[in-house]
Chain A
Amino acid sequence: MIENRPTLNALTHVTLVIGIVIVIFPIYIAFVASTHEARDILMTVQGWFGTNFIENYSTVLEKGKASTGSISVALMMWNSLVMALGIVVGKISISILSAYAIVYFRFPFRMFFFWMIFVTLMLPVEVRILPTYEVVANLGLLNTYPGLVLPLIASATATFLFRQFFLTIPDELAEAARVDGAGPFRFFFDILLPLSRTNIAALFVILFIYGWNQYLWPLLVTTEQNMTTIVMGIQAMLYVPDDINEWNITMATAILAMLPPVLIIIVMQRQFVKGLVETEK
């Protein structure tokens, strides 16, 4: 808007600031809590930073919390990272390939397959969790990374997104590539993939967060403590039966759990926005 109305300007800013404060405040409290000693924050909320920042975070990263079996948070983060990246890479490669097949190849029951994929949009992981567990258990994949990743990598949403994107690519481009002697593989790798770069980036961010935040599935499929993911870890830390809860440790873990998704967004922000809004090809 080109309007110049000071009151309106002020109002907009106030609204935005309120919004930011609402979002930031819990994170601030968590971060402040993670820099204190356990007893300082047991019964009260601290408003300013304590002095135990380095100590708390090194404890967390190296030793974890005694009540959860002393699994280091570094290992939990590693587990989460492997799972999240596995899900991202798996989902993107499978969905881009199936979208490619559905858009560019004529084969019998093409639309049937498309609708089948589409229909699975209606089935979240939770609905099919028991049969999936059975399958994974029978395959001997409990407590393994493939067991964590595989059942989550089929993605109707991503397939649909890529399909819609491919449909916006003019047919002539595919035809020009055919005339230029590019077969299906070359066309895919030389033309389609580079053109999908921004879409892939956007999906990467969304799916990474999706993968990182997985809770129910890792909880079911892992029983060994060294396969704990960080989201499971935080939850486990909240439950302390007969002891003083070390909130500083829990909060530090929570802050650490937040870091990778934030980093991913910061790094890929530009591509991410482009991928979501770009229409000009």
Chain B
Amino acid sequence: MATVTIKDAVKTYPGNVQALHGISIEIEDGELIVMVGPSGCGKSTMLRMVAGLETVTSGDIHINGEWVNKKEPADRDIAMVFQNYALYPHMSVYQNMAYGLKNRKIPKDEIEQRVQDTAKILELEEFLKRKPKELSGGQRQRVAMGRAIVREPKVFLFDEPLSNLDAKLRVQMRLEIKRLQDRLGVTTIYVTHDQVEAMTLGHRLLLMNEGRVEQIGTPLEVYEKPQTLFVAGFIGSPSMNLIPVRLDPSGNQVILGESLPLPLNNFENIVNGDSSVTLGMRPEHLEACETENALMFLQVELLEKLGADTVVYGSLDQTDTALTVRLSGIHPVDTGDRLPVTITPEHLHIFDSDTGNRLN
């Protein structure tokens, strides 16, 4: 049980390539933090710095109040689950799980006890004698987690642990990880590029892009009030419609394209110099409506009928601004239709087009 504090962590690789530009976060005891972002955003680097596998260029990392920048991974009392599991191929499942304990000079019978207990939690008992290559992907994944759990570390570190699994297994393991973390209550840092994993697992998310923190918040905060354009576009599927618009000085409408006004009105407090902003609308918040209530009309170009939802791709009437709408259920709409849509004002997001920051 431990807290993890990262303060202004910077990582510069030789050749002056800066991978991280000062990451700070305080992780509470028992919390599950998901670091999420596109490939190359530095999330794995950050995790590996916490693990001690990468040096910290500057900044501080504390685990449970203890400064660990210079400590060996083994002395930080962390356990890590790797993307490719990194199981020792020549050792049985039992040996794989016991190895870390053995190196810590824990008595044999205690190792036996702990491995058996962990195997029971993860339903691995019958596989203890097998080699990793005789196991399926999901089982290997569980062994990798077992190897972490059996150590009873202060912090779990997961580095994209599910990305080598097929879709169905991924959902199942995701639930398992969630359940396990709830049960064990160990502080966890989980790195993924999959926003569904991030949203479902994390107590809080840390969104990263190009080595910078974009936003830290609970999944719903991040969804409801994305603080930057990047977060707005990253979280949510299909991703948010981001449309450059001009803010009307009166403050009760925005002008789309040349002269298509959208009478929207909760932007009174927005002050923006050149009044060019980006309007964000989530596809699932746009609703089909009667023609007379319509805010805008969508020229339907493409449909994805998923059963639970119908995703409509098209462009706004009289413009070539692309727009995606997600209607719940099966909707009687067809390619070429002119679909009247509306949105409630609380679901509008306004961002500064230049800085990308949220304005409302």
Contacts and interface: CB of A to CB of B under 8 A. Distances in A.
Interface stretch (A53-61, A96-104, A169-177): A169-177
A190 interface: yes
Given A181-B74, A182-B103, A176 B82 contact: yes
Contacts of A170: 84, 86
B168 interface: no
Given A175-B53, A176-B82, A195 B89 contact: yes
Contacts of A176: 80, 82, 86-88, 147
A172 B84 contact: yes
A264 interface: no
B357 to A, nearest CB: 37
A180 B103 contact: yes
Interface string A154-184: 0000000000000000101101111111100
Contacts of B88: 173, 176-177, 190-191
Of A176, A182, A195, which is in contact with the most chain B CB atoms at under 10 Å from its CB? A176
B80 A175 contact: yes
A176 B72 CA distance: 12
A240 B83 CA distance: 70
Contact of A186 (B78, B86, B103, B133): B103
A69 interface: no
A181 B103 contact: yes
B300 interface: no
B212 to A, nearest CB: 25
Interface residues on A, range: 10 to 19
Interface string B79-105: 110111011111000000001100110
B104 A181 contact: yes
B346 to A, nearest CB: 46
A195 B89 CA distance: 8
Contact of A182 (B79, B84, B99): B99
A179 B78 contact: yes
B89 A281 contact: yes
Contacts of A180: 74, 99-100, 103, 147
A50 interface: no
Contacts of B99: 177, 180, 182, 190
A45 B103 CA distance: 66
Interface string B98-123: 01100110000000000000000000
Interface string B25-61: 0000000000000000000000000011100000000
Interface string A32-63: 00000000000000000000000000000000
A172 B164 CA distance: 15
B84 A178 contact: no
A178 B74 CA distance: 6
Given A172-B84, A176-B82, A182-B99, 7 more contacts: A175-B86, A178-B53, A181-B103, A182-B74, A195-B89, A197-B90, A280-B133
Interface of B: 51-53, 72-74, 78-80, 82-84, 86-90, 99-100, 103-104, 133, 147
6 contacts: A170-B86, A175-B53, A175-B73, A177-B99, A181-B104, A182-B74
Q: What 5 A-B pairs have minimum CB-CB distances, sorted nearest first?
A: A181-B74, A172-B86, A180-B100, A181-B103, A176-B86
